[in-house]
Amino acid sequence: MSFVVGGLTLNQLQALGRVLGKTGFAFGWLIFMSGFYHYWWFHRKSHDLRDHLCALEESLGIHVYRIRTRRPTIAGVKIYHHWAIDFLAVC
């Protein structure tokens, strides 16, 4: 009798394992997408702020912030740090 109860329990755990695996994948994907959306939103807001700061500098006749906003380049191509995040998302 004990092997029958053990077999039934194992069968239930295997079925639960499939559900938990799919649920864990879906939950992880939702967490990733919410983080990606938050990054996109914050990145958009930071560009808006940068545009306002550049306009303010131009109206005041100073060029402090504009110097710091130059991106690094490799072979004439501007490098963006979010490319690494996009690469990891695709992989």
pLDDT band at 7 (very low <50, low <70, confident <90, very high): low
pLDDT by residue (tens digit) across 34-68?
888 888 888 889 888 888 888 888 888 887 766 56
How far is Cα 56 from Cα 59, in angstroms, rounded to an integer? 5
pLDDT score of 85 more than 70: yes
pLDDT band at 25 (very low <50, low <70, confident <90, very high): confident
pLDDT by residue (tens digit) across 36-45?
888 888 888 9
Q: What is the pTM of this model?
A: 0.46
Gap between the terminal Cα atoms of the chain? 48
